[in-house]
Chain A
Amino acid sequence: MNTTLQPQVLGKTGLLSELRAFYAVLRREWVIFIRYPSWVIALLIWPLIFPMMYILTARALSGPDGSGLKIFMANTGANDFIGYIVVGSTVWMWQNIVLWDVGFALRNEQMRGTLESNWLSPTWRFSYLLGATGTQVVSMFTFILITALEFGLLFGVRLHGNPWLALLVTLAAIPSIYGLGFAFASLVITLKEANTFVFLVRGLVMIFCGITFPVTLLPAWMQSIAQWLPQTYLIHGVRAAAFANASLVELLPDLAALLAFGAFWMLVGYFTFIWMERRARQTGAIGQY
C-alpha cells in the first residue's frame, strides 16, 4: 500500500451545512439577478402593461356612458373592475414568470456551463432548484407589491377587504405554483426546449381560470376543467379577500383547495426532479447543451 500523506478533506456534511449551501445558492441567484440592471425596468413596467390591455379593452367595450362596466360589475360581483382585472392578470403573470424563471433555472445553468460544476459538490441537488426559487419568490412578491402600489396610485384602486387575508391566500398558492415550476424545470433539462409547454400552461390559465371574467360564465365542461387548476382558487380567493371583504371562514374552501393542490404539485415536482437527476446521470444529459 502506498503511504503518501493525503490532504485532509475540510468539509463535513450535515443539516447546517446543507442550509448554508441553500443560502449560498439563494444569495448567488440574487447577486446575479441584480447585476443585470434591466430588472428595474421590468419590475416597474410589466405590472402595468399586461393588465392595461384588458382594462382599456373593458373601457372601450363599456359604451360612451360606461354603462357596460356596471353590467360587468353586476355579473362579477366586483365593486372595482380594475382591481378585478389586475388580480386575474397578475396571477397569470406570476405563473408565466415562474414557468420561465424557475422552469428554466436548471436549463440556464446547463447552458451557462455551471450545472455540472455545481453537481460535482456534495450538496443536496434539489437545493439548487430551491435556491433559485427563493430568489424568484422574493422578486415576485416585490412585483406584486409594485403592482398594488402602481394601480393604487395611478388608477385609484382601493381594497375593500382584508389585505392580510389576500396575502394568506397568495402564500397558500406558493406550493402549487412553484411545484409546477419544479416539475417543469426537471423536464426542460431532458427535453432541452419547452416553450410549447409554457404556452400551453399559460393558455390554460388564461382561458379556464377566469383572469378577466367569472368562471361561472364558462360552459359546464370548461368549469369542470377550471376546478382542477389551482390558479382558479387563487384568483377567486384573492378577489374575495381584497375586494369583497370575505372572512377567513369564507376563504377556507379556496385555502383548502390551494393547499391540497400545493401538496400534489410539490410531490410531482420533487419526484420529477429525482427522476430527471437519475436519468441525466444515465444519459449524460446534464452536460449536453
Chain B
Amino acid sequence: MSDFAIEATQLVKQFPARAGTGDKPLEGEASQGPEKKRWQFWKKKPQALFTAVNGVNLQIQRGEVFGLLGPNGAGKSTTIRMICTLLEPTSGTATVNGFDVVKQANEVRRNLGTVLAGERSIYWKLSGRENLEYFAALYHIPAAIAKKRVEELIERMEIKDRANELVEKYSTGMRQRIAIAKALLARPPILLLDEPTLGLDPQAARNLRELIATLKAEGHTILLTTHYMEEADLLSDRIGIIDAGKVIALDTPANLKARIEQQEIIKLEVSGWQEYVGEKLRSISEVSSLVARQQGEADLWEVNLQSHNSRAVLPKIVENISQNGTRLVNMNVVKPSLEDVFIHLTGKALRD
C-alpha cells in the first residue's frame, strides 16, 4: 500500500476544446493542401484539445490537511474530480489510500468522502434525515449501523430539531452541513472538500472551519480546495498553489510566505484609478509586481505592490499617483500573506 493518503503522479486532463480555445493546433491542418482536404472531407477532423490539468504531482500524507489553492479555472476542481473517480485522467496516475482511481474506482469511492462545490448535491425534496438514510444505503452501510450513524451525524451537525424538514426549507449553511454529514457517513479516512465555505455567511464559514479542524484531529486526511487565502492559511498543514493546470508551489504556509520575506508588501487604496498609472508604477525599478482590483461598486481600487525597498519606492509611488484625478486614499506596508505569495508567483490576484 502507498505511504500516502493521496498520491498523484504526472496527472493530466485534456478536454475537447470549444472552437478557437484549444491549446494544440489541429494536427497537420496547416500542411494540408486543398486537394488533400477535399478527399478527407468525410473524415473526422482531429480534435483540438484544452489542457485543464497539466502534469500535477501530489503526495498527501495521512492525517494531513492539504490545501489546493488557485483562481477559478486553475484546475483545482478537475484535479479533485479525477481523484474522486468522476473523471478519468488523460494520462498519469493517482491513488487514494493505495487504490488506483481508474483500476480500483469502487475501492477509491469507499475510502473517500467528497463534498463538491455548490449546494445541489443533496435532494431538496427529501428531509435531511431522508437524505442521509438514502446515501447511507448507497455507501453500503448495513441498515442497523446506518440508523445509528445517521442519528450520530444529525446530533453532530446540530440539525436535530429540523432533521425531518425538507432540505428546500434549510439555509445554505444547513444544506452544507448535510452535504458534509453525507461525506462522513461511511467514516471514510480521506475527505475531499471542494470550496466548502463558498456562499456561506461568516458565522457558518467559521463553524465549518472549526469542524474541519476537528475532523483532522480525529485522523481524517483532508484535501481542501479553496480560493480563500485566509482559510487555506488557517487550516492547511501544506498548500499547493495551482495555476493554469500546474502546481507552481507546494510547501507549508509558513515556508511559502518565507519565500517572499525579503519582499515588502505595499497596499494602497486609490480613487480614480487609471491603467496608465499602473504602467508607470510597474516601470519603477524597485517594484517587482503590481495587482489592482476594484473594491465593490465605488470607484475605489486596492493596489497591491511588492518591492525590496519600500523606503526608496514610497515617494515615487506618491508622486506617480497624485495626478490627473487619481488620488491616494490610504497606504500600508504589511507582512506578506499567502495572497502575496500567489501574486509573486503568478503576477495576478487569486480572485481575478
> How many A-B contacts are there with CB distance less than 8 Å?
136
Residue B240 interfacial (CB < 8 Å): no
When A24-B137, A281-B87, A281-B88 are in contact, do A4 and B62 touch as well, CB less than 8 Å?
Answer: yes
Q: Tell me if A112 and B141 are in contact (CB < 8 A).
A: no
Which of A1, A11, A117 is the one whose CB lies under 8 Å from B141?
A11
Chain B residues near A23 (CB, 8 Å)? Answer: 137
Q: How far is the CA of A2 from the CA of B61 in the complex (A)?
A: 7
Which of A8, A14, A113, A122 is the one whose CB lies under 8 Å from B106?
A122
Q: Tell me if B140 and A122 are in contact (CB < 8 A).
A: yes
Residue A228 interfacial (CB < 8 Å): no
* Segment 1-38 of A: residues with Cβ below 8 Å from B: 1-2, 4-14, 17-18, 20-21, 23-25, 27-28, 31-32, 35-36
Residue A286 interfacial (CB < 8 Å): yes
Which interface residue of A28, A121, A123 has the most chain B CB atoms within 10 A? A121
Q: Tell me if A21 and B187 are in contact (CB < 8 A).
A: no
Q: Tell me if A10 and B138 are in contact (CB < 8 A).
A: no
Can you list, as one digit per residue, whether each of A115-130 has a CB less than 8 Å from chain B (1) or not (0)?
Answer: 0111111110000000
Residue B86 interfacial (CB < 8 Å): yes
Residue A64 interfacial (CB < 8 Å): no
Q: Tell me if A9 and B125 are in contact (CB < 8 A).
A: no
Q: How far is the CA of A120 from the CA of B61 in the complex (A)?
A: 22
Residue B347 interfacial (CB < 8 Å): no
Q: How far is the CA of A270 from the CA of B122 in the complex (A)?
A: 26
Q: Tell me if A9 and B186 are in contact (CB < 8 A).
A: yes
Q: Tell me if B139 and A11 are in contact (CB < 8 A).
A: yes
Q: Tell me if B63 and A2 are in contact (CB < 8 A).
A: yes
Distance (Å) between the CB of A283 and the closest chain B CB?
Answer: 7
When A20-B137, A286-B86 are in contact, do A1 and B3 touch as well, CB less than 8 Å?
Answer: yes
Distance (Å) between the CB of A124 and the closest chain B CB?
Answer: 9
Chain A residues near B348 (CB, 8 Å)? Answer: none
Residue A287 interfacial (CB < 8 Å): yes
Q: How far is the CA of A283 from the CA of B89 in the complex (A)?
A: 10
Q: Tell me if A9 and B121 are in contact (CB < 8 A).
A: no
Q: Tell me if A9 and B86 are in contact (CB < 8 A).
A: no
Q: Tell me if B145 and A28 are in contact (CB < 8 A).
A: no
Q: Tell me if A4 and B141 are in contact (CB < 8 A).
A: no
Q: How far is the CA of A25 from the CA of B219 in the complex (A)?
A: 32
Chain A residues near B137 (CB, 8 Å)? Answer: 17, 20-21, 23-24
Q: How far is the CA of A14 from the CA of B139 in the complex (A)?
A: 11
Which of B63, B81, B139 is the one whose CB lies under 8 Å from A284?
B81
Chain A residues near B130 (CB, 8 Å)? Answer: 28, 31
Count B interface residues, CB 8 Å: 53
Size bin of chain A's contact surface = 35 or more
Q: How far is the CA of A9 from the CA of B187 in the complex (A)?
A: 5
Q: Tell me if B110 and A122 are in contact (CB < 8 A).
A: yes
Chain A residues near B121 (CB, 8 Å)? Answer: 113-114, 116-117
A-contacting 9-mer, from B112-120, B241-249, B293-301, B332-340: B112-120
Which of A4, A18, A27, A287 is the one whose CB lies under 8 Å from B219?
A4
Chain B residues near A119 (CB, 8 Å)? Answer: 86
Q: How far is the CA of A28 from the CA of B88 in the complex (A)?
A: 29
When A28-B134, A120-B84 are in contact, do A10 and B120 touch as well, CB less than 8 Å?
Answer: no
Q: How far is the CA of A287 from the CA of B52 in the complex (A)?
A: 15
Residue B197 interfacial (CB < 8 Å): no
Distance (Å) between the CB of A129 and the closest chain B CB?
Answer: 14
Q: Tell me if B186 and A114 are in contact (CB < 8 A).
A: no
Q: Tell me if B187 and A120 are in contact (CB < 8 A).
A: no
Can you spell out 26 A-B residue pairs with CB atoms less than 8 angstroms apart?
A: A1-B3, A2-B62, A2-B63, A4-B63, A7-B187, A7-B218, A9-B111, A10-B187, A11-B186, A14-B140, A21-B137, A21-B138, A24-B137, A27-B134, A32-B126, A114-B121, A117-B121, A117-B182, A119-B86, A120-B84, A120-B112, A120-B114, A120-B116, A121-B139, A122-B109, A286-B86
| Seed contacts A17-B137, A24-B133, A283-B16; 4 additional CB < 8 Å A-B pairs | A32-B125, A35-B166, A120-B86, A121-B135
